[in-house]
Amino acid sequence: MLPEADLGVCFQLQDDDVFDIELKLLLEGILLRYQHDFRDYSVASLRRRMRQAMERFGCATVSQLQDRILHEPAVFAQMLQFFTVQVSEMFRDPAYFRMLREKVVPVLHTYPSIKLWVAGCSSGEEVWSLAILLEEEGLLERSMIYATDINVEALAAAEAGIYAIDRIAQFSENYRQAGGKRSLSDYYTAAYKGAIFDRRLRRQFVFADHSLATDSVFSEVHMVSCRNVMIYFNKDLQDRALGLFHEALVNRGFLGLGMKESLHFSRHAASFRELAPAEKIFQRA
């Protein structure tokens, strides 16, 4: 029998420490089982979301959750919500969209055809917002908007373009502040507690299952909008994603980030120049 002091060393890890070990194992398991790679996501955010998932699925430990995820694909499909879903708004951060109208649209007008990429589009609020903006600026007809995410359910929601009616007041206020030229209600019809956005806006959308962690560039584009997605990545994965954007963008193509994101701490900092620093719009250098 071991002396008591040695036992102490073996067992002094707190449950809280073991949690991190279990989390690493779970991420490896998910990669092997489902080919989704979350190993370079922000650990602090993952911990919180896994605790929420454990509560949702009634699991006392991450290991119990792992058992269900590996053996029940339906559970993994639901888990994707915990890993990826960001709550957004249409025309979130109106100043960003005002600046797009002011500084980006005039340049886009010089191209005969335009491709835009909304990376990590989640349930599509940003995609529909951009489509409305392009429509009002007379550019939608010659635009193609690629909307990508790793969450197939979110992509389906994005494509449906139906949002709860109680969110519309906020969307409308944002739209107004973003320099909207009409009334947001011109673009949707209300039915069954939902606002259904105009199918005609959707003709130029291409939805695709694409991972910034494991996939490569699929097209040349004139603008990338990837807002509040990379805050959930660690530095390596942020660098990978920015590398993809740099590769995809045409020379002097545009990159839009979330209001609290920056390129300062990335090795790609010198690959882009600041076009609108406060609104976080960059241009490929």
45 binds other proteins (CB under 8 A): yes
Question: Edge to edge, what strands does the sheet with 281-284 contain?
Answer: 205-209, 143-149, 114-119, 221-225, 249-256, 281-284, 272-276
Question: Which range binds other proteins by CB under 8 A, 39-47, 135-143, 204-212, 248-256?
Answer: 39-47
Cβ count within 10 A of residue 48:
12
Q: Which H or E run includes 194? A: strand 194-197
Phi, psi of 86 (to 5 degrees): -105, 135
Residue 169 token pair: 């007041």
Question: Cβ contacts of residue 83 below 8 Å, gap of 6+?
Answer: 36, 38, 41, 46, 49, 151
193 binds other proteins (CB under 8 A): no
| Distance (Å) of CA 18 to CA 11, 14, 24, 62, 175 | 11, 6, 10, 9, 47
> Is the Cβ of residue 87 or residue 169 nearer to other proteins in the bound state?
87
195: nearest Cα among 89, 78, 86: 89
Q: Which amino acid is at 151?
A: N
267 binds other proteins (CB under 8 A): no
225 binds other proteins (CB under 8 A): no
20 binds other proteins (CB under 8 A): yes
Question: Which range binds other proteins by CB under 8 A, 119-127, 150-158, 169-177, 257-265?
Answer: 257-265
> Is the Cβ of residue 122 or residue 172 nearer to other proteins in the bound state?
122
> Is the Cβ of residue 59 or residue 85 nearer to other proteins in the bound state?
85
> Is the Cβ of residue 33 or residue 81 nearer to other proteins in the bound state?
81
109 binds other proteins (CB under 8 A): no
- Count of residues that bind other proteins according to CB under 8 A: 26
Give the nearest distance from C-beta 49 to other proteins in angstroms: 7
Binding site for other proteins (CB under 8 A): 14-17, 20, 42-45, 47-49, 86-87, 228, 231-232, 234-235, 238, 260-262, 264-266
